[in-house]
A and B are shown apart, each in its own frame.
Chain A
């Protein structure tokens, strides 16, 4: 947990401080042929790609884009999911049925497939567009969880007691139900981050996500030479960045989940 948190903090610091720590301009493409596909060395610790760009600088700037896209997309997905789930769970009845059948329909299509179809129909997207796309395909799972939690919370005696004092219904919801959702949203959000990071990387690798020359961990890999085996450093370092981040985020998410769920609390 501590190690995972340290790894994550490191990546976040790198992302935020990118301009200060990147040794080169991530977009600079020196025209000299001699700078192309250089293996790691003192001048270029992660080597250079087929356009002679410094891979270390691209990975550092890529952290900004990849983490930024993932965090904002997850926040969007959580907001949408929480809104739909809360309304469905709290109102119940037909509203609930309609919302949940729609969620079932969306969830019946694999997310990757849905993303590919959507990108294929819209063409290359801006970073903002990718965030919206990832956010809008990520909410159904969250809405299901939130709905379940809301249905449990709204039956609590203190919710009934608050209603019985004459508190308006929206206020009962905001003061007694919503705060109870926070732990679950925290866990869901963290775990969602671990699926969105590779999704964005995958899309960008396929050329459907973040567009060059803007660096993201996914599209750096696609800038390897024709045969990636020859320039392994262009694939390895951004790949490691993805793997480490996802592992760290997942570990933190799992720990949070265990801590929130009393059934999994270790006995002392």
Chain B
């Protein structure tokens, strides 16, 4: 089926909780437990769950920024987990990531232009003046100025930094982007702006997103489908409209009840999920 871009099946990742003197682990924590889902080309799958539920680990395992314990990930028919070093590096041009905290995801010593340029050079997409032009275009596309390339990250606000991180990811013209809590560290108005930018870029370029978030409200506008994750497992996966209208799983209902309503007169009943 050519419509599916990413296919994840039975993905499991265990962390060693404790190691013996000889490096063998006797206790493990299963951060990601038998997770399966597909993402169709051009859609946004939102992966939602509380902190520590394994959603970031899932995103990183798909990109092989960590090596999952078991499972399969295919990207456009390519077995991602079986790739050797160099083919994997080449594939990275097609799948990119934007991290949560733009204060730690940009090298404080590196000028913005060089940061954005890194991927362009790594994949030999352009060099010299043409690479400069690409960097300028990438910055302008995310709403920054071409002249910002000469600045250091600390000269920017949080929202602008996140735009730089988006420019870095998009400079190599990927098809798929993991947005790992990409707007969670931003305040609400900036969040809306960055979200709008991400949706604009998706329309323009036909991007496919895996949007990781801990808040169902944030993903409501952008998600095509939503997967709810709890303690390493996906407890519910449904089209966004269906999920918001009639959540099936108790944990999803609890998450929905935690969404704040911006009206002080509305008294909401908060559902507390007890794990049953």
**Bound-state Cα–Cα, A10 to B92, Å:** 55
Q: Which chain B residues border A255 with CB–CB below 8 Å?
A: none
Q: Are B107 and A160 in contact (CB under 8 A)?
A: no
B220 near A: Cβ within 8 Å? no
**Segment from B93-101, B202-210, B233-241, B266-274 that makes contact with A:** B93-101
**Segment from B27-35, B117-125, B224-232, B245-253 that makes contact with A:** B117-125
Q: Which chain B residues border A211 with CB–CB below 8 Å?
A: none
Within 8 A of B (CB), among A176-215: 176, 179-180
Q: Are A162 and B118 in contact (CB under 8 A)?
A: yes
B55 near A: Cβ within 8 Å? no
**With A156-B104, A161-B105, A166-B123 known to touch, is A175 a contact of B97 (CB < 8 Å)?**
no
B212 near A: Cβ within 8 Å? no
Partner of A167 from the list B101, B104, B122 (CB cut-off 8 Å) is B122
> Shortest CB–CB separation between residue A91 and chain B, in angstroms?
14
Q: Are B93 and A161 in contact (CB under 8 A)?
A: no
Q: Are A161 and B109 in contact (CB under 8 A)?
A: no
Residue of A nearest to B91 (CB): A166
> Shortest CB–CB separation between residue A213 and chain B, in angstroms?
49
Most buried by B among A157, A160, A168: A157
B65 near A: Cβ within 8 Å? yes
Q: Are A158 and B89 in contact (CB under 8 A)?
A: no
> Shortest CB–CB separation between residue B263 and chain A, in angstroms?
37
The 0/1 profile, CB within 8 Å of A marked 1, for residues 55-71 of chain B is 00000000101000000
Q: Which chain A residues border B65 with CB–CB below 8 Å?
A: 160, 163-164
Q: Are B99 and A168 in contact (CB under 8 A)?
A: no
Partner of A158 from the list B93, B107, B122 (CB cut-off 8 Å) is B107
Partner of A161 from the list B89, B91, B123, B165 (CB cut-off 8 Å) is B165
A34 near B: Cβ within 8 Å? no
**Bound-state Cα–Cα, A162 to B92, Å:** 11
B135 near A: Cβ within 8 Å? no
**Bound-state Cα–Cα, A35 to B9, Å:** 92
Q: Which of the four size classes fits the interface of chain A?
A: 10 to 19
Count of B interface residues, CB-CB < 8 Å? 28
Q: Are B110 and A176 in contact (CB under 8 A)?
A: yes
Partner of A168 from the list B89, B105, B109 (CB cut-off 8 Å) is B89
Q: Are B105 and A166 in contact (CB under 8 A)?
A: no
Q: Are A164 and B92 in contact (CB under 8 A)?
A: yes
Q: Are B106 and A166 in contact (CB under 8 A)?
A: no
Q: Which chain A residues border B168 with CB–CB below 8 Å?
A: 161, 165
**With A161-B99, A161-B168, A175-B110 known to touch, is A168 a contact of B122 (CB < 8 Å)?**
yes
A171 near B: Cβ within 8 Å? yes
> Shortest CB–CB separation between residue A88 and chain B, in angstroms?
15
B169 near A: Cβ within 8 Å? yes
Q: Which chain B residues border A161 with CB–CB below 8 Å?
A: 97, 99, 105-106, 165, 168
Q: Which chain B residues border A157 with CB–CB below 8 Å?
A: 99, 101, 104-105
Q: 6 new A-B pairs (CB below 8 Å) besides A164-B63, A164-B92? A: A158-B108, A161-B97, A165-B96, A175-B107, A176-B107, A179-B109
A-B pairs with beta carbons under 8 Å apart, 8 shown: A160-B99, A162-B118, A163-B65, A165-B119, A166-B119, A168-B89, A171-B118, A176-B107
Q: Lowest 7 A-B CB distances belong to which pairs?
A: A166-B92, A165-B119, A157-B104, A157-B105, A158-B107, A167-B122, A164-B97
